[in-house]
Structures are given as C-alpha cells and as structure tokens.
Amino acid sequence: MSIKHQNMSRTLIIISKKHLPTSVEQINMSIKHQNMSKTHLQSKEVLCFTLWLIKKEP
C-alpha cells in the first residue's frame, strides 16, 4: 500500500470519527473502509467518499 493511500486512509478514519455519531455506525464504517482498502481505491474515489461523508453530517 502506498504512503499516499495510507495517509488518505488515516484521513478517512479521522473524518469518520467526527461525522458518525454512533458506535454501530463507526463499526460499519471501519468494515466498509477495510473492504475499500483491500481494493486499493484511487485518489478520486477516496475524495468522493470523503465528500459524501462530510455531506452526510446533519
């Protein structure tokens, strides 16, 4: 896994902690994120996902 991807993964985890209110959602998020990491998302997809998370905030 590239350094760039690792940094993006960390960013997503930080954002998810800020934006997802319940622990159940956080667990689902981590599982989802682990699955995405396995498929090595491209930067563009990670960015889109990050923006989606931010929009999801109430």
pTM of the predicted structure, to 2 decimals: 0.26
- The full length of the chain comes to 58
pLDDT for residue 1: 54
Alpha carbons 22 and 6: distance in angstroms, whole number:
25
Which alpha helices (H) appear in 20-42, and where do they start and end? Answer: 23-38
The residues spanned by each domain of the chain are 3-56
Segment 7-58, tens digit of pLDDT? 777 777 766 666 555 667 667 777 777 766 666 556 667 777 778 888 876 6
